[in-house]
Chains A and B, each alone.
Chain A
Amino acid sequence: MKKLILFLMIFCSLGTVSAQEYPDKLNGGNKFNTLEEFRGIYNEIYKDENNEDLVKVCERTFLWPEFWIKDELIYSIKNCQELRNKNTLTEFINLEHKNIQKFNIFWNNFKTRFELERDLLRVENDLRRRTGLDYIFSDGERETKDSPFDSILDLNQLDEIFFGEKVEIPDLNFAKKTGKEMTEQIPIDDEDKWLEQIEKNHEPKKDKFNNYANNLSGSLYRMGIELFRDNLNLYPLWLAHIGKTMGDKVATDSLFTPSGFTADTHAVIQMSSDKPESVKLIYNPVSKLNSLIDNYVLKQEVELIQAKGFNVSRVSQLEQFDKEEKINRQKVAKSLNDFYQENERINENQYFTTTAPLFDKLNEMFSLFREKLKNINIDVMPPFLDKPDHSS
């Protein structure tokens, strides 16, 4: 609608304009200054039709397996040049073949392949010519080197007048660039690199105070989530309570949270489950941790190799990270083992040495009290706490 109104405004306000030269001359000139460039087009098309270079056909023909013996070409490609000087193919072939039988075999093969290759080359030339002629006037060539005018160029100029910019073919690399990377010229050569960049751009912001920190603990956390998602969900809540009742050593950090792993950190698994077997997993985490560490190291090494292969700046980042977060498997495994053994010992000691005797004493007292009260009124006194059963 806007364009229509604009056109109407223009028509109403037309004035006289002095004669000027062919417009394209003012913009740097073009190849076609006269109609001579259009003259003789039919002749050129006619001559180009069914006009194959026979030397080229011959060279392609000799690539067929019939003309090879033990991975060597029977004829030299240079022989094809001789085709130009011979009146018939028989004269050309007779140079090499004195044996009539061999000649007949060769002749049949050569003729068949020659005609096939010529037909194929003809189709190639036809396609080339037709597409070239189709796009001669609208291919967006800025210099109009193949025609005196270009419709796409004309429309671009109008776009610039109306809208200040011309319509471009969408930049396929545009979506891959983020705010920082818009100014960077990252060469993207294949799909894998493109996908890798997309994934990186969609990753959450990495910070050491959140779950996506780029350090060992964060990596282990992520790997733990990925690899042991189901197993983590099996850990019972009451194990968390064990941790909480350990006095000052209240655990807030987890092995799988990224606030840094030290030997003093105590694990609290805040999951729920009814399966008692899951307790054993807690007390044997070393083997699982080893596999986690192995996976993490492998992933790091693979990433480093890939980065080196792609020759991007991330190589230096990874190498630096590797130094800072150097994984010491033995140290980690020992620390974890010590922690759980200590945990177990504390639990056992605490129960058997302190809690259990107290319960026993209390039960004795109340059972004695009940017996003495039998004579008075058994029904009045409700039974007190029974001795807890800790055998399950």
Chain B
Amino acid sequence: MNINIKISRDFKLLFLIIICLPLNIASADLDKNFRENFSKITEKQCFNSIKYSVDDVVGIENTAEELYKWECISGKCEEYRTLINCLFNDAFEEAVNISNKNAKDYLNFEFSELRNSDINNEDKCVPLALKNIQEKQSNLGFKTDCLDGFSSKSYSACRVTETVLNEMCGYHNFLIAKMNDYKSFSNEELGYIHSITVSKGVSFEDKVSEYKKEIYKSKKAFLDASELYNNFVHKYRVHTWIIAIKSRLEYFAENWLKVSKAIETFPGKFIDASSLE
């Protein structure tokens, strides 16, 4: 019995050594102090609300359904993406509601609020995500540069962009730390052995390459989404005003047209008319 236990322990150790040996043991690890205080360092630098540790799993894996297809399916990657998605969802909703409210206050025109469906919450978003995140960031010491008029509103394109940038800063720092830390990579690979998912023999270089792509991808997604949001906010405000004005004008429309045509007859006929005609 003791021999069996001893053999099984030795076997496990041997097995671990055999598994670890083929892995590329090349990169240096991060400084110990830096690893321990990584979360606080990034929060001070970036004011991100998500807490990161170097030992956290990124969550980008090769699903093997398609060649060269690495997807964000779990871990901090998924958490970051969900947070930003919920942030934009909340921003859209708030922009619509407040614009409608302004139309009512200033033009006495009531829009019915766009319905918020609570049934379908696939995004797993927390209510008031935008405000919560902005509060957390301000608690960490962040001070906004968006101070002029409309820009100071929480749902303005300026503020939303700032909020997302802070979160993206923390996320990128996390990915860069992971690219320079072999220890956490090896821990992840060992973790795979004991789980259902079987390691595909991915090298550290492959992971580093994917982390770089993820940084680039998240940046591009942010740029496109923030541009879309900026466009939306501005145009929706104009849209509400135009709809409200139009509803007022419909009553006057026919008579206004008659008046304007009668007024324009004289200048249209004589002013700027060429003497040669």
Q: Which A residues between 189 and 232 are near B, CB-CB below 8 angstroms?
A: none
User: 15 A-B contacts, Cβ less than 8 Å apart?
Assistant: A17-B247, A18-B110, A20-B110, A20-B112, A22-B111, A22-B114, A83-B66, A133-B231, A137-B231, A149-B239, A151-B238, A154-B238, A157-B246, A161-B253, A162-B256
Q: Which of A37-45, A96-104, A325-333 contacts B (4 or more CB under 8 A)?
A: A37-45
Residues of chain B within 8 A (CB-CB) of A54 are 66-69
B242 touches A154 (CB 8 A): yes
Q: Does B64 count as interface, using CB distance less than 8 angstroms?
A: yes
Alpha-carbon distance A150/B247, docked complex (angstroms): 16
A10 touches B247 (CB 8 A): no
Say whether A38 contacts B257, CB under 8 Å. no
Instruction: Determine the chain B residues whose CB is within 8 A of the CB of A158 once the complex forms.
Output: 242, 245-246, 249
> Nearest chain A CB to B263's CB is how many angstroms away?
9
Chain A residue with the shortest CB-CB distance to B248: A10
**What residues of chain A lie closer than 8 Å to B238, measured between beta carbons?**
151, 154
Task: Point out the residues of chain B lying under 8 angstroms from A21, CB to CB.
Answer: 112
What residues of A have a CB within 8 angstroms of the CB of B67 in the complex? 54, 83-84, 86-89, 92
Per-residue CB proximity of B119-135 to A under 8 Å, as 1/0? Answer: 01011000000000000
Chain B min CB distance to A156 (Å)? 10
Q: How far is the CB of B121 from chain A (nearest CB, A)?
A: 9
Chain B nearest Cβ from A35, distance in angstroms: 5
Apart from A17-B248, A35-B89: 10 A-B pairs, beta carbons within 8 A: A10-B245, A36-B117, A40-B85, A42-B87, A42-B221, A46-B218, A54-B69, A133-B224, A134-B227, A161-B246
A1-37 vs B, CB cutoff 8 Å, 1 = contact: the mask equals: 0000011001000111111111100000000111110
B interface residues with partner A (beta carbon < 8 Å): 64-69, 81, 84-85, 87-89, 92-93, 96, 107-112, 114-117, 120, 122-123, 200, 213, 216-218, 220-221, 224-225, 227-228, 231-232, 235-236, 238-239, 242-243, 245-250, 253, 256-257, 260-261
Given A42-B84, A149-B235, A151-B235, A36 and B261 contact (CB-CB distance below 8 Å): no
Q: Mark A119-160, 1 if CB is under 8 A from B, else 0.
A: 000000010011001101110000000000101001101100
Chain A residues near B235 (CB-CB < 8 A): 137-138, 149, 151
The answer to whether A388 has its CB under 8 Å from any CB of chain B is: no
User: How far, in whole Å, are A86 and B200 apart by their CA atoms in the complex?
Assistant: 13
B79 CB to closest chain A CB, in angstroms? Answer: 13
A39 to nearest B CB, angstroms?
A: 5
Once A14-B107, A38-B89 are accepted as A-B contacts, the answer to whether A149 and B236 lie under 8 Å apart by CB is: yes
Q: How far is the CB of B155 from chain A (nearest CB, A)?
A: 13
Chain B nearest Cβ from A4, distance in angstroms: 13
List B contacts of A163 (CB < 8 A).
257, 260
Query: Considering only CB atoms, which chain A residue lies closest to B115 in the complex?
Result: A34
Shortest beta-carbon distance from B255 to chain A in Å: 11
Distance between A244 CB and nearest chain B CB, rounded to angstroms: 42
Which residues of chain B come closer than 8 Å to A252, judged between CB atoms?
Answer: none
Q: Return the chain A residue nearest B236 by Cβ.
A: A149
Q: Which residue of B lies closest to A18 (CB)?
A: B110
The answer, yes or no, to whether A179 is at the interface (CB within 8 Å) is: no
Query: Chain B residues near A17 (CB, 8 Å)?
Result: 108-110, 247-248
Residue of A nearest to B253 (CB): A161
Q: Does A277 contact B (CB under 8 A)?
A: no
Chain A residue at minimal CB-CB distance from B72: A46
Contact between chains at B243 and A23 (CB < 8 Å): yes
Find the B residue at minimum CB distance from A34.
Answer: B115
The answer to whether the Cβ of A342 comes within 8 Å of any Cβ in the partner chain is no
Task: Give A32's nearest chain B residue, CB to CB.
Answer: B114
B239–A151 contact, CB under 8 A?
A: yes
Contact of A14 among B69, B85, B96, B108 (CB under 8 A): B108
Q: How far is the CA of A46 from the CA of B224 in the complex (A)?
A: 9
**A34 touching B92 by the CB < 8 A rule?**
no
Find out whether the CB atom of A154 lies under 8 angstroms from the CB atom of B239: yes
**B108, chain A: closest CB distance, angstroms:** 6
Does the CB pair B245–A35 fall under 8 Å?
no
Complex Cα distance, B133 from A331, in Å, reads 100
Cβ–Cβ contact A46 & B217, under 8 A: yes
Of the residues A14, A16, A34, contact of B117 by C-beta under 8 Å: A34
Contact call A19/B116, Cβ cutoff below 8 A: no
Q: Which B residues touch A149, using CB under 8 A?
A: 235-236, 239
Q: How far is the CB of A117 from chain B (nearest CB, A)?
A: 13
Q: What residues on B are CB-neighbors of A162 within 8 Å?
A: 249, 256-257, 260
* Contact between A43 and B256, CB atoms less than 8 A apart: no
By a CB distance below 8 angstroms, the chain B residues around A154 are 238-239, 242-243, 246
For the complex formed, measure the closest distance between the CB of B16 and the CB atoms of chain A, giving whole angstroms: 25
Closest 3 CB pairs of A and B: A19-B110, A38-B92, A46-B221
List A contacts of B65 (CB < 8 A).
Answer: 84
